[in-house]
Structure 1
Amino acid sequence: MLDIKITKTTAPKEKPKGNLGFGRIFTDHMFVMDYTQGVGWHDPRIVPYQDLTLSPAAMVFHYGQEMFEGLKAYKGDDGANYLFRPDMNAKRTNDTNDRLCIPRVPEEDYVQAVKAIVSVDQDWIPTAPGTSLYIRPFIIATEPFLGVDVSQTFQFIIILSPSGAYYESGLEPVGIWIEDDYVRAVRGGMGFAKTGGNYAASLAAQVKAHDDGYSQVLWLDGVERKYIEEVGAMNIFFKIDGKVVTPMLNGSILPGITRNSVLQLCRDWGLPTEERKISVEELIQAQKEGKLEEVFGTGTAAVISPVGKLRYKDDVMVIGNGEIGPLSQKLYDTVTGIQLGRLEDKFGWRVRVD
């Protein structure tokens, strides 16, 4: 168990009012822990939120040896504070760390650190419908060295941001641009890892999609350019002729925690589910035959994001008359209901923070 030293701020900030937006407001404190080769992780502490001081030669700036995660804290209907499956974030952190040669963080220490910083800043957890306290753990390489090698020092940091809906439109179905030029990841690369390079690689297509009025980019596989992979900020699901279908995890797709939760819920409800390859041609054909019933994304930030329109080259597919489908609504209500304590947590996903 970590012995976390806590230093409280002497100048607390005013809590935000009104529209929170997403990821632009930060709480009073942050968690920091250092790593030194030969010593391991050490000096865990919670300190006032502040800027970092790093050498311009810090390896994170030059070789991108860094990772990040995302999860949320919620104020339950009973007034208690809850996390949603933080052990899964801890596990995914270490999967990413292994790929990037970053030292693993013991999962119990990771969850303890998240709980500790949320507990200190629990007064920042918003209570308005659709809001939450977004939690951003990340690890950066800090050794000052201009050589392509594994850093000898790292920092593990957790910051918190009270946030509203990821999309300003909330649950209103979004438009998705199926990218046919750029690629994001290939098997054997880092597509399954939660690292900044994956997201930097997505920006050019994201700008192109936004310029044409679409909210997100849906990526195709990087080899054949015909199989659906994932959306920039979420995994993707299709309800085709009564079956819930999502791309299988193949090394280039992020293993989403909300994705995993949705699959468990659908199977628990007796819905047929498939994790497999899905070609864009299959989607177009299913739409022409009236079998493409619903499309939705899943992710920590948006939870469930209904898709009302898919664009691929000259084809624009309108899904469900551009309205949210019944399964998308049920999944959103169920996941958020469990997170807020309104529904039975039969899977043991909700974790209380005292």
Structure 2
Amino acid sequence: MTTTSTSAQEFFARTEAAERRSADEIGQILENPGFGSTFTEHMVLVEWDKEQGWHDGRVVPYGPIPLDPSAAVFHYAQEIFEGMKAYRHEDGSVWTFRPERNAERLNASARRIAMPELPPTIFLDAIKELVTIDEAWVPPAGEGETSLYLRPFMIATEEALGVRPSNSYLFCVIASPAGAYFSGGLKPVSLWVSDQYVRAAPGGTGAAKTGGNYAASLASQAEGIENGCDQVVFLDATEHTYVEELGGMNLFFVYADGRIVTPELTGTILPGVTRSSLVELARERGHDVQERRFSIDEWREGVASGEITEVFACGTAAVISPVGRLAWNGGELEMPDEHKVTMDLREELLDIQYGRAQDAHGWLYRLV
């Protein structure tokens, strides 16, 4: 068991909310928490400036963050974030999944957006501090795919206009109880191929988890919804030929001979923590997992010929989702009904995260 260190206790001052929800009130919320709509009673804040570095860590009541209208984040979009979950195990303990990878990715995003890197110890201690004080908001074990969703983020706060990196930043962690991503039960998603918009270009910010990438995907997402689809597939910006990712999920293609292909990380694709975990789990199951460029034509032709037997998407929020339909301007294609590999990998990953299976990889990190 890992406990909060003395240094963490000294670094993070704590101001507890004056009024806390009762156990009954929290219980009613956890019966149907939705996703990202209700937040816990506290948040973690840490400041940065050139003179002091990272300082003034504190746990405070959840609420608005005062910012000057000239704050750099509003004008030059210096903003990065992460997405994680905390899981309740049967013995009442609370764990998260591979948080070191999230800390690494946050810093990779920070380097790309010209923001200061956050020491991983502060990142991990901030998560632990928040979950410790708001542990009551972690849903009980055995309640389906419920969890406490964690959102660490960093924003530029300097009060000045000028196209340059900010001289001050704020790191924050908030949390939201989350039910299953698909409230009506897991079902195959339909995907729209965007031929007008791209998510990221070589040399751009595609590998960074920054809000601008998601903003850039919203117009095509709306186009997909207008065409009866749930998500959008983005192609590469140069040749408009190679599959990259969805608006917030990575893709996998399962072949009849057991091969699994996922688009390689070219610098324009976000390196998903779930993605890397599935690559490892699939290889341990004996699959030849190939990370390579994968064209939209190979997708269409592989499904039409029966060579591709399953397609699935993955990400922190939805875990793993089978793909049921692909549509584009001028056509559409139904995916195979077979989802055995998809569902086996999904069950294995969830069993590790919820403590129902042995964590042979050391991926779990205890919070409480």
1:290-337 Cα distance to aligned partner (Å, 9 max, x none): 11111111111011111111113323221123x6x0111111111110
- Quote the offset at 1:187 in angstroms: 1.5
Letter matched to residue 340 of structure 1: Y
**In the comparison of the two structures, how many residue pairs are matched?**
352
Partners of 2:299 and 2:329 lie apart in 1 by 13
- Quote the offset at 1:126 in angstroms: 1.2
Q: Are residue 335 (structure 1) and residue 322 (structure 2) matched? A: no
Q: Name 1:54's counterpart in structure 2.
A: 67
Q: Which runs of 5+ in 2 are unaligned?
A: 1-6
Residues 335/227 of structure 1: CA separation in 2 closer, same or farther (3 Å cut): same
- Match for residue 326 of structure 1 among 327, 331, 340: 340
Residues 222/167 of structure 1: CA separation in 2 closer, same or farther (3 Å cut): farther
Q: Are residue 247 (structure 1) and residue 268 (structure 2) matched? A: no
- Match for residue 12 of structure 1 among 3, 20, 29: 20
- Quote the offset at 1:170 in angstroms: 3.6
- Match for residue 132 of structure 2 among 119, 125, 136: 119
Partners of 1:167 and 1:92 lie apart in 2 by 26
Partners of 1:80 and 1:292 lie apart in 2 by 41
Q: Name 1:292's counterpart in structure 2.
A: 308
Partner SS for 2:183: coil
1:5-62 Cα distance to aligned partner (Å, 9 max, x none): 1111111133214321110100000000000112100011100001111000000000
Q: Are residue 283 (structure 1) and residue 299 (structure 2) matched? A: yes
Partners of 1:139 and 1:185 lie apart in 2 by 21
Q: Name 1:271's counterpart in structure 2.
A: 287
Partner SS for 2:123: helix
Partner SS for 1:320: coil
- Match for residue 149 of structure 2 among 99, 112, 134: 134
- Match for residue 110 of structure 1 among 109, 118, 123: 123
Letter matched to residue 78 of structure 2: Q
TM-score, length-scaled by structure 2: 0.94
Q: Which runs of 5+ in 1 are unaligned?
A: none
Letter matched to residue 95 of structure 1: A
- Quote the offset at 1:80 in angstroms: 0.8
Structure 2 counterparts to residues 124-203 of structure 1, below 5 A: 124-127=137-140, 128-203=143-218
Partner SS for 1:245: strand
Partner SS for 1:207: helix
Partners of 2:182 and 2:51 lie apart in 1 by 44
Identity in percent = 45
1:64-93 Cα distance to aligned partner (Å, 9 max, x none): 001010000000122210100000000000
Structure 2 counterparts to residues 26-65 of structure 1, below 5 A: 26-65=39-78
Q: 197-206 vs 209-218, which deviates more?
A: 209-218
Letter matched to residue 179 of structure 1: S
Q: Name 1:93's counterpart in structure 2.
A: 106
Partners of 2:30 and 2:94 lie apart in 1 by 20
Q: Name 1:351's counterpart in structure 2.
A: 365
Partners of 1:123 and 1:60 lie apart in 2 by 33
Q: 132-141 vs 13-22, which deviates more?
A: 13-22
Q: 7-16 vs 89-98, which deviates more?
A: 7-16
Q: Name 1:213's counterpart in structure 2.
A: 228
- Quote the offset at 1:213 in angstroms: 1.5
Q: Name 2:3's counterpart in structure 1.
A: none
- Quote the offset at 1:240 in angstroms: 2.2
Letter matched to residue 113 of structure 1: A
**CA RMSD across the alignment:** 1.1
Q: Give structure 1 regions of 4+ aligned residues with deviation exceeding 4 angstroms.
A: none
